[in-house]
Amino acid sequence: MSRGYGAVTYEGSLEIYVDEWKKIIAQSPNRDPLQIPTFDISVTFGGDGVAPAKDTLRSAEFLENPLEAKQGDTKMLVTIPLIIADIEHS
């Protein structure tokens, strides 16, 4: 699959614990998270007295593998940049 880049580009990032990122790497094709096929991400948000809303980030891809943690630093957070094809608002 290839991705074309038009006039509108959506970008974001995902912040997770290093140990969770290592699990993603372990399950990735060739242990490379940049080879994972595009995927959707559901995001639910709201607040006190506000009904929750849900958006879906369509065809997301990881842009880089920023893992630079020392061995044993499993509670450290890592930020992974994403590119997103579209955002579906509910």
Domain boundaries, the chain: 10-41+54-89
Average pLDDT, the chain: 88
Which burial class, exposed, middle or buried, applies to 41 when counting CB atoms under 10 A from its CB (0-12, 13-18, 19+)?
middle
pLDDT above 70 for 2: no
pLDDT of residue 35: 97
30-46 per-position pLDDT tens digit: 999 999 999 999 999 98
- The pTM score is 0.77
- Beta strand extents in 1-90 (DSSP E only): 10-17, 39-47, 50-62, 77-84, 86-89
